[in-house]
């Protein structure tokens, strides 16, 4: 199943972003009075990313935070304070929260390796679910979520915010309309001065740096390919620093991956950490028969050297689109309409499995060694 592509106008109309985006940064949620149109939400996982999303959700018109849950008590208390205007109830057990609260939807922002164990109970409870990316860190758990979401009463949205970034949406429309001609090659990079840390170091919790973070770029390029998955992948990865008592397996800090899509279309990608600040850069380039497109900059360059702005530039704001995706989630929940979700289990499955495919191509779990090899899509063993 391919994700549904809609025009920018349709997107604005369907998600009400055209109106609601105007209030971001200036929203004053001055009253905590309940409305029958409010969307009652619970939060599972209110650490770093979860707290960030919670703060943003406080500015989404019509969203009401009724409950917060985390395994760590002080995080629960902190989240209660952030959302204090709604007087949310705090929980240390997600199952108890789901039993006690009357919610419309739940936001899951735990460690990647805990996504399935939170998302699936939410969907099985008949609730709508927004979960941070990627879907999870193993093929088996991605399959489990996919199956649960396909038969769920509620909708499932994955936090790939570039699908809601209006600059990316506009540029992608132009690519799919053929303005760059037939896509021939894709190239990307995400280079960082920082490195993997905390739970991201533990591949059993994150899938590694490529899976936990670079999945965003896998999502964009699968979107370019109209949500098709690659056929093969070859990759190399390495750990270039020493850690005190590192988990095993430990995340790579540098990787280079090449994917082959149907039609012989190649996607070449590097994901590097621990670089000088001057080399920190995000690139997503699409090369077609007629022109090339720089997606983060929203620029099209034809073969004659002419340039054209086809989408708003994102610049260094990697989080751009998060406000819009949260507005989109609340609106989709309010309308109980799965077709409004731009990043669902079908698109999210391809993106997450692409990242896992790259990890499998550079690392042999049985020998605990980074050994480059060729991996085919069917080698992943996905049952969905």
Per-residue pLDDT reduced to its tens digit, 310-369: 999 998 899 999 999 999 999 999 999 999 999 999 999 999 999 999 999 999 988 999
- As a CATH number, domain 8-162 is 3.40.50.720
Cis ω before 134 (30° cut-off from 0): yes
Domains of the chain by residue range: 8-162, 166-316+344-380
Question: Which of the four pLDDT bands, split at 50, 70 and 90, describes residue 28?
Answer: very low
Rounded CA-CA distance 236/375 in Å is 12
pLDDT of residue 17: 44
Question: Which of the four pLDDT bands, split at 50, 70 and 90, describes residue 21?
Answer: very low
Decide whether 8-162 matches 166-316+344-380 in CATH topology. no
Answering whether pTM is above 0.85, one says yes
Per-residue pLDDT reduced to its tens digit, 61-99: 999 999 999 999 999 999 999 999 999 999 999 999 999
Residue 2 has pLDDT above 90, yes or no: no
Answer CATH for 166-316+344-380 from 3.30.360.10, 3.90.870.10, 3.20.20.210, 3.40.640.10: 3.30.360.10
pLDDT of residue 35: 57
Residue 207 has pLDDT above 60, yes or no: yes
| R_g of the chain computed on alpha carbons | 20
Residues 6+ apart with CB under 8 A from 151: none
Average pLDDT value for residue range 241-251: 93
pLDDT of residue 37: 82
Cis ω before 360 (30° cut-off from 0): no
Closest by CA to 346, choosing from 132, 153, 149, is: 149
């Amino acid at each position: 199943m391919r994700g549904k592509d809609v025009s920018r106008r349709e997107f604005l109309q369907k998600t009400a972003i055209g109106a609601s985006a105007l209030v971001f940064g200036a929203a004053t949620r001055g009253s905590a009075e309940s409305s029958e149109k409010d969307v009652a939400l619970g939060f599972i996982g209110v650490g770093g990313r979860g707290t960030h999303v919670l703060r943003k959700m406080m500015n989404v018109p019509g969203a009401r935070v009724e409950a917060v849950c985390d395994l760590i008590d002080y995080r629960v208390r902190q989240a209660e304070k952030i959302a204090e205007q709604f007087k949310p109830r705090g929980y240390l057990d997600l199952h108890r929260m789901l039993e006690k609260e009357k919610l419309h939807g739940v936001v899951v922002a735990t460690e990647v390796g805990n996504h399935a164990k939170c998302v699936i109970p939410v969907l099985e409870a008949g609730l709508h679910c927004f979960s941070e990316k990627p879907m999870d860190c193993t093929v088996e758990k991605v399959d489990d979520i996919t199956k649960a979401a396909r038969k769920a009463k509620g909708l499932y949205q994955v936090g790939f915010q570039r699908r809601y970034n209006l600059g990316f949406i506009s540029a992608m429309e132009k690519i799919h309309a053929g303005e760059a001609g037939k896509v021939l090659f894709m190239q990307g990079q995400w280079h960082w001065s920082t490195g993997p840390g905390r739970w991201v170091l533990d591949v059993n919790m994150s899938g590694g740096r490529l899976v936990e973070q670079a999945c965003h770029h896998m999502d964009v390029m699968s979107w370019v390919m109209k949500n098709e998955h690659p056929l093969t992948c070859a990759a190399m990865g390495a750990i270039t620093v020493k850690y005190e008592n590192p988990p095993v397996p430990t995340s790579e800090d540098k990787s280079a991956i090449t994917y082959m899509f149907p039609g012989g279309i190649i996607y070449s990608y590097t994901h590097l950490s621990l670089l000088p600040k001057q080399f920190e850069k995000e690139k997503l380039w699409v090369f077609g028969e007629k022109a090339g497109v720089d997606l983060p900059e929203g620029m099209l360059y034809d073969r004659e050297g002419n340039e054209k702005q086809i989408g708003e530039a994102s610049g260094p704001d990697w989080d751009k689109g998060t406000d819009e995706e949260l507005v989109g989630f609340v609106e989709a929940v309010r309308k109980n309409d799965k077709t409004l979700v731009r990043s669902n289990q079908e698109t999210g499955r391809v993106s997450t499995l692409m990242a896992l495919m790259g990890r499998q191509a550079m690392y042999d779990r049985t020998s605990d060694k980074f050994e480059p090899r060729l991996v085919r899509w069917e080698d992943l063993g996905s049952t969905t």
